[in-house]
Amino acid sequence: GQQLNQSPQSMFIQEGEDVSMNCTSSSIFNTWLWYKQDPGEGPVLLIALYKAGELTSNGRLTAQFGITRKDSFLNISASIPSDVGIYFCAGREMGFRAGNNRKLIWGLGTSLAVNP
Amino acid sequence: DGGITQSPKYLFRKEGQNVTLSCEQNLNHDAMYWYRQDPGQGLRLIYYSQIVNDFQKGDIAEGYSVSREKKESFPLTVTSAQKNPTAFYLCASSTPNEQFFGPGTRLTVL
């Protein structure tokens, strides 16, 4: 199946630094979702985006739905040790109304390590 | 408490045995999903169901089977035909727009 191109694959940063990661697709999307997964646990939804250009925050996290509808970005400001984990992007292609096809396309994740 | 439960957290089976993983949700969601996660490969869709008594194959359905007899439940059977069953299995349910995950079951086949 199709996969999203998520980058970077991994990051190792100092506590207090800001973090940026992104996802790109080859097709147009109408939904972008960002998740965080802790080791041995299920992914937790962080932010959902539904409109091109939309910018949404959740605490220190900010995500944007790209204008082209083919990309999305996640920023974490002032990182702390509990930000450690794997961040996944996921999206739904344009042309699939939510009620008819709820399958998501996933990135391979960005692994974040924070040095205290 | 509303949520998605998966049991057990860890499961061990001998090669050649079928095993069924449980997934229950009390969120009143119509759609449910099963994913497999291997290191470095992200989430791969096994099966999904958009409504009771209906389900569709995902990208890696071979060697797996599911049923959806109740809205709340979507069990996954890993059959002996699955060549490499050791993995972390995640169940999810969704609103029309957002998917939510259970805590996962780690299956190890010896």
pLDDT of residue A94: 81
The backbone torsions φ and ψ at residue B69, rounded to the nearest 5 degrees and listed phi first, read -85, -20
SS3 A110: strand
SS3 A84: coil
pLDDT band at A112 (very low <50, low <70, confident <90, very high): very high
| Residue B2, pLDDT score | 67
Question: What is the sign of the dihedral through the CA atoms of A92, A95, A98 and A101?
Answer: negative
Given an 8 Å threshold on Cβ–Cβ distance, is A102 in contact with B42?
no
* Averaged pLDDT for residues A83-107: 82
Nearest Cα of chain A lies from the Cα of B44 at a distance, in angstroms, of 8
The ranges of chain B with pLDDT < 70 are 1-2
Q: How far is CA A90 from CA B11, B29, B47, B98, in A?
A: 28, 19, 17, 10
Q: Taking CB atoms and an 8 Å cutoff, what residues of chain A touch B98?
A: 33, 45, 48
Average pLDDT score over chain A: 92
Beta-ladder partners of A61: A58, A76
